[in-house]
Amino acid sequence: MNFTKIIRLLAILICFCSLVAAQAPPLAVVDEALPPLDAGVEFHILLHATGGVPPYVWTVASGDLPEGITLTPEGLLAGRPTKPGASTFTLKVEDSGHPAHTINKEFKVVVAASLLIEWLQPPKIRDNRIDGVVQLSNGSKDDFDLTVIIVAVADNGRATAIGYEHFPLKAGDTNVQISFGNTLPHGAYVIHADAIAEIPTRKAILRQRLQTPQALQVTQGP
């Protein structure tokens, strides 16, 4: 096939694509509200567009997705929201037309604080110990089968448990306190406090984590 024929075929293809785009219905985003989200609960939802020339490419046009949530070019919103609160963001859809058509859609979503874990007394060093208190609340309408694990992670990656509790946290329970602490060898430690709540009625699992912003240095041996 010579160069002239290739140019003619490309011209025909471009004209065909332009004709398809001209005849296609206008590009639109299916009008669907995002479901309420729970901090710590994994979710996924596939967004849909119509009209234009498929396939479509989705991007974030403005605003920020809730922390822990990502958007794929195929329109899949997925992840595990990490913080409660309201978010407003605008997504852009672009079709495969020549020229491409785009449309923006604003979304609003609220992330509920179903499981909340806070430092009541942040971890502190006392001689060769690290001690503290966490506080937990269940802001949902479901009972939790709750496990709380607090570990001290050394520079070499070794984790030492300094607190553990497993108990039911009833719907509406707030400010439940758990003390933790243990002696540790000389070294620097980052403290992780993990709360894992199973919700049997929904077959769901909530996860929340606290972490000290910097390592705590134990200078005395046990």
pLDDT in tens, 161-187: 999 999 999 999 999 999 999 999 999
Backbone φ and ψ of 8, nearest 5° = -65, -40
Fold match, 28-112 / 115-218: yes
Question: Does residue 5 carry a pLDDT above 50?
Answer: yes
Averaged pLDDT for residues 122-134: 95
pLDDT, tens digit (0-9, with 9 covering 90-100), for 62-101 = 999 999 999 999 999 999 888 888 999 999 999 999 899 9
Q: Which fold does the domain 115-218 belong to in CATH?
A: Immunoglobulin-like (2.60.40)
| Closest residue by Cα to residue 118 from 167, 159, 84, 154 | 84
What pTM, to 2 d.p., does this model score?
0.63
Confidence band for 196, pLDDT divided at 50, 70 and 90: very high
pLDDT of residue 11: 54
From the number of C-beta atoms within 10 Å of its C-beta (0-12, 13-18, 19+), residue 38 rates as buried
155 alpha-carbon distance from chain centroid: 27
State the DSSP H helix or E strand holding residue 13, giving kind and residue range, or none if neither.
Answer: helix 3-23
Which of the 8 DSSP states describes residue 41? Answer: B
Question: Does residue 218 carry a pLDDT above 70?
Answer: yes
* Identity at 142, one-letter amino acid code: D
With beta carbons less than 8 A apart as the criterion, state whether 145 and 206 touch: no
The 3-state DSSP class for residue 206 equals: strand
Confidence band for 198, pLDDT divided at 50, 70 and 90: very high
With beta carbons less than 8 A apart as the criterion, state whether 58 and 72 touch: yes
| Architecture, CATH, for domain 28-112 | Sandwich (2.60)
- Sequence-separated (6 or more) residues with CB below 8 Å from residue 83: 39, 66, 67, 68, 111
Which of the 8 DSSP states describes residue 219? Answer: -
Question: Does residue 159 carry a pLDDT above 50?
Answer: yes
Share of the chain above pLDDT 90, in %: 67
Question: Does residue 7 carry a pLDDT above 70?
Answer: no
Domain boundaries, the chain: 28-112, 115-218
Question: Does residue 147 carry a pLDDT above 70?
Answer: yes
pLDDT of residue 21: 46
Instruction: Give the separation between CA 98 and CA 25, rounded to whole angstroms.
Output: 15
